[in-house]
Amino acid sequence: MDKSLRIDLQKVPKHIAIIMDGNGRWAKGKGMSRVFGHRHALTAVRESVETAAQIGVQAITLYAFSTENWKRPKLEVDALMQLLVNSLKKELPTFQKNEVLVNAIGNIDNLPSKAQKALKEVIALTKANSKIILTLALSYGSREEIVKAIQNISKKVVKKELCIKEINEKTINNHLYTFNLPDVDLMIRTSGEHRISNFLLWQMAYAELYFTDVLWPDFRKEHFYDAIIDYQNRERRFGKTSEQITE
């Protein structure tokens, strides 16, 4: 049976976050370098974004490069940055075809100038698209994001632009990189690892977590459907009891 037929289009998660893990292990299993794995991960990205757009997901956020990833060997980091530039240019027709609005979060200023330029160009060229928001988390760390939000809120308090008593969840949310996105409903992590690795800590407060042993370069549409089906079979209570949800 076609897995897409098992999807309830009325219960599709609004925002899906993905930790794309396993590129290095996939490459190592083939006797190749880690960079080889990164280069063969683009199909997984394309199929995930296209499938999400087709079933009505509003936003999808990909953990493309963390603040910690800068500690990796320079050769790998340089290759990843060049891959980012090439991929953005190559995928632009796909973004336009699927009406994908491209967004980016993180310390974008830390990226090489070529990567920044390519990113800004694609963001500008897709800003009119409205079917789905694709957010690339680049040089991103959730703790750093929260610290920056607190610093910016504190500055407003010092300038008397904001009263301490006025600070609430909405205030904090509005100072995060993701202020224009809904909270994460579903987080997918590939490769069998069971952790969230400093990714969208605030935004995933009530997210359903889905872990799969599939390595990211092998992740395809049917695996994406598996995650959605699993999500739709769960009971989301948000602190309430099952009886309250039923009522």
Question: Is 46 annotated to bind ligand?
Answer: no
Q: How far apart are the first and last CA of the chain?
A: 33
Question: Is 247 annotated to bind ligand?
Answer: no
- Phi and psi at residue 202, in whole multiples of 5°? -70, -45
The 8-class DSSP code of residue 83 comes to: H
Contacts by residues 91-97 (CB-CB < 8 Å, ≥ 24 positions apart): 91/42, 91/45, 91/46, 92/122, 92/125, 92/126, 94/46, 94/49, 94/50, 95/122, 95/126, 95/129, 95/134, 96/125, 96/126, 96/129
Question: Is 25 annotated to bind ligand?
Answer: yes
Question: Is 39 annotated to bind ligand?
Answer: no
69 is catalytic: yes
Within a 10 A sphere around the Cβ of 114, how many other Cβ atoms?
12
Question: Is 234 annotated to bind ligand?
Answer: no
Question: Is 241 annotated to bind ligand?
Answer: no
Residue indicated by tokens 């610093």: 151
Note whether 108 and 119 are within 8 A (CB). Answer: yes
Question: Is 208 annotated to bind ligand?
Answer: yes
Question: Is 129 annotated to bind ligand?
Answer: no
Question: Is 110 annotated to bind ligand?
Answer: no
Strand 186-189 relative to strand 15-19, pairing: parallel
Question: Is 220 annotated to bind ligand?
Answer: no
Options 8, 21, 129, 233, the catalytic residue: 21
Question: Is 169 annotated to bind ligand?
Answer: no
Note whether 189 and 219 are within 8 A (CB). Answer: no
152 is catalytic: no
Question: Is 143 annotated to bind ligand?
Answer: no
Options 69, 107, 173, 198, the catalytic residue: 69
Find all residues with CB under 8 Å of 120, minimum gap 6, and list them. none
Question: Is 76 annotated to bind ligand?
Answer: no
Note whether 93 and 122 are within 8 A (CB). Answer: no
**Could you tell me which residues are annotated as the binding site for Mg(2+)?**
21, 208
Catalytic residues: 21, 69
**Could you tell me which residues are annotated as the binding site?**
21-26, 34, 38, 66-68, 70, 72, 189, 195-197, 208
**Could you tell me which residues are annotated as the binding site for substrate?**
22-26, 34, 38, 66-68, 70, 72, 189, 195-197
